[in-house]
């Protein structure tokens, strides 16, 4: 008798096959969702739009400049 050996029961082949099919279907669904999200992100990008304006060369005077009149 071996003390350190674990004797786990073998899984039922039909249950194991069902679990494998479920995992494959879930993987396919996840892959399709990722592809759809990527397509949406690519189509959503447009040229132009919100440009970042310089804080150093603007009319405000630069970083840390406080104008109490604006």
Domain that includes residue 22, residue range: 13-43
Is residue 25 in some structural domain? yes
Is residue 18 in some structural domain? yes
Q: pLDDT at position 52, please?
A: 61
Q: How many CB atoms lie within 10 A of CB 60?
A: 15
Rounded CA-CA distance 29/19 in Å is 15
Q: pLDDT at position 26, please?
A: 96
pTM: 0.47
Q: Report pLDDT digits (tens) over 9-65.
A: 787 888 999 999 999 999 999 999 999 999 888 887 666 555 665 555 556 555 566
Q: pLDDT at position 11, please?
A: 78
Is residue 30 in some structural domain? yes
Those residues whose C-beta lies under 8 Å from the C-beta of residue 55, and which sit 6 or more positions away, are 62, 63
Q: Report pLDDT digits (tens) over 5-21.
A: 777 778 788 899 999 99
């Amino acid at each position: 008798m071996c003390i350190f050996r674990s004797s786990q029961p073998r899984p039922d082949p039909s249950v194991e096959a069902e679990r494998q099919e479920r995992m494959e279907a879930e993987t396919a669904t996840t892959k399709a969702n990722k592809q759809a999200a990527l397509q949406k992100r690519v189509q959503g990008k447009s040229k132009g739009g919100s440009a970042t304006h310089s804080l150093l060369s603007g009319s405000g005077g630069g970083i840390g400049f406080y104008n109490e009149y604006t």
